[in-house]
Structure 1
Amino acid sequence: MTPDEANRLAITRFRNYQAGGRAVTITVPSTAGGLVVTGSIDYRGEIGYGVVRGTGRDASGDGLIQWTATTVLVHPMADAPATAPSTPPASGWYRRPLQKSGSSLDSSLAIALGLGSDRPDNAELLPQNGAARLGHDTVNGHPVDVMTGPDARARAGTADTVRYWIGSDGTMYRVRAGVASESRPLVIDFGTRKYVPVRPAPGITPAR
């Protein structure tokens, strides 16, 4: 990994914070069929919001979803829309703690929320901790470098190293990470739609 590559990896989470928020599509692995969360994450307020859709048995959980680092709110809908309404419904939410383990959905939500930081990482330490460049790729027309982040096995919810697809200016376009107990990784795609500012559902307080 060159110094330039290490610098881009070091600032990629900070880029998300600088942007305020990003549009995301989170593909969650599941033995019951799989889930896709389509929405936005406010990296300054540390809150995500969107539509969750499933296939197979997971389709029973379709609806709206909003989450923070500690809480998940779900709003079941028999016919979930393609995009979440800009203003969350005033009622009909079910609240529960975000599970630290045992749920591929909650692990995926926590990992996605953690992809923002109010300061860059230490570029000099990244290669020492296992970060490396794997090669080139293209994501939605953007040329990117594929890099592995530091060893993530000690982080909650991840089973292996995390891969980042990063542009020449440090912009994050895709992240892939292993999820404990699942054979397939979760995939987070950024920026395929316009970011819509996240408005808190009743009872949710953003970090800032």
Structure 2
Amino acid sequence: MAVAAVAAVAVFVVADGGADPGGQRALTSDEANRLAITRFRNFQAHGRTVTITVPGTAGGLVVTGSIDFQGKLGYGVVHGTGRDTSSDGLIQWTAAAVLVHPMANAPAQAPASPPPSGWYSRPLQSSGVALDSSLAIALNLASDRPDNAQLLPQNGAAWWGRDEVDGHRVDVMTGPYSRGRAGTAGTVRYWVGEDGTMYRVRISVGSETQPVVIDFGPQKYVPIKPVPGVTPRP
């Protein structure tokens, strides 16, 4: 698949040292179990609302929308931060393609039904483009089965600290190094709740010095409608 190298980053990989409160230590059995099911929780939910913050040397981008984890389809609105509005508009993406609908005055939220025309399609780039890397990673933050809780700590998964996200107490954890996989030079941390719910993910991508941050919102997920005339490709 064209995005295999990027998607691999979304699988658990080891993270480098950081400033999270608490400091690194081994996972407890309960923490390993919660880390093992956190991507499965997303799959069980079918989809979730997200805010994807993408860094950039010329200014960042923020994608606000939803992801259908079972259908591998994302949809939302893009706004630039610290840059002009030339990149603003609606966006829908699959594992293979990105569709953009430029808008001079993009709304805060994407309309429930995508406009029937005005879309431009391009292949999703497998490397070198921070936005595309972020979109591909976001699609892959789900799994149709739990990970092996016993193997996670054996292969380097670690606990880094505690935090709070939108009123939820969470543990900040990293997963094991994925040897032999392309794209695992980056780093990833998960903000995981007491029931295994994923509330935030922070990932380093090779093309940027600042990490991508993916926040999951409390809003109820509404099924995504594909752009008219476009069949999603999982």
TM-score by length of 1: 0.94
% identity of equivalent residues: 75
**Following superposition of structure 1 onto structure 2, how do residues 14-163 of structure 1 map, counting pairs within 5 Å?**
14-57=40-83, 59-151=85-177, 159-163=185-189
Pair 1:178-2:204 in alignment: yes
Aligned-pair RMSD on alpha carbons? Answer: 1.7
Tell me which moved more, 82-91 or 126-135.
126-135
User: What amino acid sits opposite 1:87 in the alignment?
Assistant: S
Cα deviation digits, residues 77-96 of structure 1 (max 9, x gap)? 00000000001111111000
Cα deviation digits, residues 135-170 of structure 1 (max 9, x gap)? 110001000000012226865556422100000100
Which residue does the alignment assign to 1:193?
A: 219
Tell me which moved more, 157-166 or 63-72.
157-166
For 1:90 and 1:104, the matched residues in 2 are separated by 28
For 1:96 and 1:142, the matched residues in 2 are separated by 38
For 1:153 and 1:84, the matched residues in 2 are separated by 39
**Aligned partner of 1:8 among 20, 34, 37:** 34
Contact 2:85 2:104 survives alignment (8 Å): no
Shift of 1:131: 1.0
Cα deviation digits, residues 154-188 of structure 1 (max 9, x gap)? 65556422100000100000000001121100000
Cα deviation digits, residues 3-41 of structure 1 (max 9, x gap)? 111111111011001011000000001111000000000
Shift of 1:197: 1.6
- How many residue pairs were aligned? 208
Query: Which structure 1 residue ranges, 5 or more long, are not aligned?
Result: none
Residues 8, 207 of structure 1: alpha-carbon distance in 2 compared, 3 angstrom cutoff = farther
Query: Which structure 2 residue ranges, 5 or more long, are not aligned?
Result: 1-26
Contact 1:112 1:188 survives alignment (8 Å): yes
TM-score by length of 2: 0.84
Residues 30, 202 of structure 1: alpha-carbon distance in 2 compared, 3 angstrom cutoff = same
For 1:143 and 1:207, the matched residues in 2 are separated by 36
Give 3-state SS (helix, strand or coil) of 2:85's partner. helix
Shift of 1:110: 0.6
Cα deviation digits, residues 86-143 of structure 1 (max 9, x gap)? 0111111100000000100000001111001111111111112221111110001000
For 2:221 and 2:140, the matched residues in 1 are separated by 17
Residues 123, 186 of structure 1: alpha-carbon distance in 2 compared, 3 angstrom cutoff = same
